[in-house]
Amino acid sequence: MAISPRYTREIPHRYRLEAQKFECGAVSLATRYVCPDSDCKKSKKITLKGTGKILTYTIIHIAADAFAKETPYAVAVIETDEGARLTAQVVDCNFDDLKIGARVELVFRKITEEGASGIINYGYKAVLV
């Protein structure tokens, strides 16, 4: 069984903010076959607006090698207006302006380059609004 590369499997949620809305009302950004809250299996595809709020955040001072040149940087758990949750780097802000409940917009940005192949991974980062 061949498995497609991660960067192609993640295109719907990482590149187009496509999520699943289950019949019970729960929203999941990652593809799931069963709702983790209610075990319902019926869902439909939705496109997220790309706005939400910070649930919690941290400032990273010591990072993995791939992100070491970017330290310090902020990472937050964000809940979109539709109810999906994701983790994203918060960029273009003063750390003093970060707070729980702050409104953010998800913007499409370069995330990393993978090893010698140089595959560029894109995704969403958050900016304060």
Over residues 36-58, the pLDDT tens digits come to: 888 899 999 999 999 999 999 99
CA distances, 98 to each of 36, 53, 119 (Å): 30, 11, 31
Q: Is residue 39 part of a domain?
A: yes
Q: pLDDT per residue over 13-28, tens digit each?
A: 566 788 899 999 999 9
Task: Residue 48: give its domain's CATH number.
Answer: 2.40.50.840
What integer pLDDT is reported at residue 8 of this predicted model?
58
Which of the pair, 32 or 14, is modelled with greater confidence?
32
Q: What local confidence, expressed as pLDDT, does residue 122 receive?
A: 81
Residue 32, domain member (yes or no): yes
CA angle 56, 39, 77 (to 5 degrees): 10
Is 1 inside any structural domain? Answer: no
Beta bridge partners of 27: 21
The whole-number pLDDT of residue 32 equals: 85
Residue 77 lies in a domain: yes
Write the pLDDT tens digit of every residue in 87-124: 999 999 999 999 999 999 999 888 888 777 778 878 89
Rounded to the nearest angstrom, the gap between the alpha carbon of residue 58 and the centroid of all alpha carbons in its chain is 15
Q: How many structural domains compose the chain?
A: 1
Number of alpha carbons in the 13 Å side-chain half-sphere of residue 27: 18
Q: Is the peptide bond before 72 cis (omega within 30 degrees of 0)?
A: yes
81 falls within a domain: yes
Residue labelled with tokens 């595959």? 119
Q: Which domain holds residue 42?
A: 6-128
pTM: 0.84
Measure the CA–CA gap between 54 and 114, rounded to whole angstroms.
28
